[in-house]
Structures are given as structure tokens and as C-alpha cells.
Amino acid sequence: MFILGLTGGIGSGKSAVSDYLGKQGITVVDADIIAHRLTADGSPLLISLKEALGDWVLDGQGRYDRAAVRARVFNDPQTLDRLNAIIHPAIHQAILDELNGSQSAYTILSVPLLFEGRHKSPNLLSLCDHVLVVDTSAETQRQRAAKRDGHDPAQIQAIIDKQISRAQRLALAQDIGADILVNDKTLDDLHQALDTLHQNYLAMAAQHGSK
């Protein structure tokens, strides 16, 4: 199996990349989607979070309150560690299960904080045979995030601050020989670039499978 790691800052266009390659028949394993599914109403993981951390992890309707959790752990590393100790192993196992079930020519593992978690355990970067980094300017990031999610500038900046800087991300990408896709033009331009990359990944996957 050939696993392509996909990462990039908020608003860089990771979803546009995974959506397009998904339409080419490529399986996309998305860590964010898995995390949302695992913390759905009444899920075993959500029950574990409530029992370990308290009712404050739920909103008035009994759903996982991501905004409240983000606010609570922002300046509380001890609670963040307890939260991660519960969530991360479950997400990691679900990711492995989806990867093992993939039948496409190669498989995309989309993780927003792929580089940020490189020194942690479990380390999702170690699962990847190759990495694609989607890059764009900080101003474009802010504009896209505001339009897509409706976040105000302070919320967007808080998310950006949790991620490594653009310069750090690009330096790490170069260090590991990752592809860097600059997504600062039209959607058609993005698709054209992805058509070329897709053919490259098919060839890389075929070579990987022949070893």
C-alpha cells in the first residue's frame, strides 16, 4: 500500500485537493472526519470523555462541544493531555482500520497537523510513503477560512497560531522531499496541477508495490 500524506495550513485548500483526487477513485482517509465521527452523539468515545473530564465537554443538547473544549484546554495543558490521551489512540486506530481497508491505487491520509505531531506518539507522519503539502499565503488562508467557516479574525489567528509557521512547514517539506503545491490561483489551475501529481503518484505507487 502506498500512502500519500496530505497536509497544509488552515484555508490552504486541502479539502479541494482531497475532493478532486477522491473523484479520481482515490481513497481519502481524513483525520478530521474520523475525529468528528468518533465523537458523535452517544458514541463510546464521547461517553469516555464525559466520564473522564466531566459534563463540560457536552453542550446543552448532549453533543460534543468543540468550542467549549478548545477554550478550556487552550491554557490548560494538563486537561489537554488528558483529552489527547483518550482521543488520539481511538483516532489512530480508526485511521489504521480505514487505511487497511483501502483498495485504491494509492491512499491519501489527510491530517492538518501532520508535521506538528511528528514527535508525538502515535506518529501519523511515519505511516506516509510520500507527502503533499498544500501551500498558500497567510492572507489567502485568512480570507478562505473566513468565507468557509465564518470564523472571525481572532478565531482564525488562534488556529494559525496552533500550527507551525508557513516557513517551518515548507522547510520540513523540503527536508523530507515532499511535494509542495502552491494553491493561489483558480480551481481549474489547481485541478490541472493535481492531474500531473496524480499521474506521478500512480507511478510511485506502482513502483512501491513492485518492491
Known binding site for ATP: residues?
Answer: 11-16
Element (H, E) at 34: helix 31-38
Element (H, E) at 3: strand 3-8
Residue type, 75: N
Residues at the annotated binding site? 11-16
Q: Is 129 exposed, middle or buried (0-12, 13-18, 19+ CB in 10 A)?
A: middle
- In whole angstroms, give the CA distance from residue 126 to residue 124: 5
DSSP summary character for residue 105: S
Element (H, E) at 182: strand 179-182
